Amino acid sequence: MENKKLGFVILSISILAALLAFGILKNFNRQATELQCNPTNECQRVQSLMGLSHIAIGLISFIGALGIYLLFFSISEDAILRRLEEEKTKKIEEDKFDLVLKAMDDSQKIVLKAIKEQDGVTQSTLRFRTDLSKAKVSQILTDFEKKHLIKREQKGKTYAVYLVENF
């Protein structure tokens, strides 16, 4: 939002400077007409000042364009900070998950990864996806529940398995 305010201020200043520059240029043109541009020192001074005024108009145009850019096209700082915060949170969650996986055996890793891939997976589906026995999957899930890594909810004759929210 600050970029829009800054853009508005810059654009306003450039408009005022442009009006001033065009007024001065009009005055120089009037002086050149009055002098009829004979090769005198006064005529040369007016001609050189007219050349400088064209450079000033170019700079004012650049400042005006910058103001327009900031006013209409600039990405707000809040959006950038929000995106960075989301990426940071996602990275922390992935690191936390990887840390938990390091403390497990291969069967537990396979089951936990399968649950993470499909939150709410049923125990019977989990059995087929991990290629483990029904007893082994049940034992691993019971162990995970004791460690507060997952929660199970009754779903027909089986359970749906979810990762815990803060995991």
Q: What is the pLDDT of residue 71?
A: 74
pLDDT tens digits for range 74-121 = 666 677 888 999 999 999 988 888 888 898 999 999 999 999 998 889
**CATH number belonging to the domain at 105-163, selected among 1.10.10.10, 3.30.70.1150, 1.10.10.1100, 3.90.190.20:** 1.10.10.10
The residue extents of the domains of the chain are 2-74, 105-163
Best CA proximity match to 11, nearest among 67, 70, 72 = 67
Q: How far apart are alpha carbons 54 and 61 in whole angstroms?
A: 11
Q: What is the pLDDT of residue 155?
A: 84
- CA torsion 44-62-7-81 (nearest 10°) is -150
Tell me the mean pLDDT per 10 residues along the chain, length 167: 76 85 81 68 70 81 83 72 91 89 92 90 90 92 92 87 80
Q: What is the pLDDT of residue 46?
A: 67
Best CA proximity match to 138, nearest among 118, 111, 100, 163 = 111
